[in-house]
Amino acid sequence: MKYALVTGGSRGIGRAICIKLAEMGYPVLINYNSNIAAAKETKRIIEENGGKAELIPFDVADGQTADNIITQWQENNPDHHIAILVNNAGIRLDNTMVFMQNEEWHKVLDTTLNGFFYLTRRVLKDMLVKRWGRVINIASLSGIKGMAGQTNYSAAKAALIGSSKALAIEVASRKVTVNVVAPGFIESDMTKDLPQDELKKLVPVGRFGKADEVADLVAFLASDKSAYITGEVISINGGLHT
Ligand code: NAP
């Protein structure tokens, strides 16, 4: 059976993606870092709707642990494989560059960029062997446009876009697609400290987006209908382009 693995599936956009993929009939592996209560709530919602879900906690920035946990899962599930990988886990540690600490720089890149590399390299093998797969990476408007106070975050998301395009070419002949979703302002814990009333005036649609709206796009990219789309970056930002 084909499974979907969503990193950062405990909250926000990741939770909405888990729920949507479960509605499509995929059993979902819900990854998270530390918020077990939120991850259990995602699982509960999926199961309440008749879906299947498992919790698979690890820090995506820790490549060795990620590798060990995926290997363990594969040994325990020899008849199943991960066919859909959504690299959604991400953090913001904003600061202007002159004040940015090494830790703020490295933590953001480790989570978004290195996390994508460690996990995708590991999970891709099964997709290539089975000759079908979907890798969907959650970048950001910040990785396309660049945002002040986010040199770390913009760097991580821009690199994620570049790497996704290269990987898409490497694996296309095996029917594995690699695409990027680049959200603008979406309501979630990540944006709850932002002045929404001020910022929404910048958005042509006049509001922040919903996690569900991002999840619908991810669900399409995860489906068979998107087979001819790969190496693409799809913005979902209410018209707030560069
Ligand atoms: P969020 O509400 O802050 O949730 C972040 C999720 O990532 C949580 O599930 C968290 O797990 C997980 N996570 C963080 N670090 C992790 C790590 N090292 N290992 C595993 N999981 C980790 O964020 P969100 O707004 O839903 O954002 C989801 C993605 O969309 C991120 O990549 C973000 O950069 C991107 N994005 C968001 C917006 C926006 O406006 N919200 C816009 C553009 C792009 P725990 O619950 O365990 O902490």
- Provide the CATH number for the domain around residue 205: 3.40.50.720
Q: Using DSSP, how many helices (H) and how many strands (E) does the chain show?
A: 9, 7
Ligand 1: residue whose CA is nearest its atom 46: 35
Within a 10 A sphere around the Cβ of 139, how many other Cβ atoms? 26
Cα 173 to ligand 1 centroid, rounded to whole Å: 31
CA 195, 196, 199, 201 torsion-angle sign: negative
Domain assignment present for residue 228? The answer is: yes
- Contact 3 CB / ligand 1 (< 6 Å): no
Domain of 161 in residue numbering reads as 2-236
List the structure tokens of 116: 């994508």
Closest CA to 119 of 102, 107, 103, 135: 135
Domain assignment present for residue 241? The answer is: no
Domain assignment present for residue 114? The answer is: yes
Cα 32 to ligand 1 centroid, rounded to whole Å: 9
Domain assignment present for residue 59? The answer is: yes
Domain assignment present for residue 242? The answer is: no
Cα 214 to ligand 1 centroid, rounded to whole Å: 13
- Contact 194 CB / ligand 1 (< 6 Å): no
Q: Which is the closest atom of ligand 1 to the Cα of 141?
A: 43
CA distances from 68 to 60, 62, 72, 113, 192 (A): 12, 10, 6, 19, 34
Cα 143 to ligand 1 centroid, rounded to whole Å: 15
Catalytic residues: 153
pLDDT truncated to tens, each residue of the chain (242 aa)? 999 999 999 999 999 999 999 999 999 999 999 999 999 999 999 999 999 999 999 999 999 999 999 999 999 999 999 999 999 999 999 999 999 999 999 999 999 999 999 999 999 999 999 999 999 999 999 999 999 999 999 999 999 999 999 999 999 999 999 999 999 999 999 999 999 999 999 999 999 999 999 999 999 999 999 999 999 999 999 999 87
- Contact 192 CB / ligand 1 (< 6 Å): no
Total domains present in the chain: 1
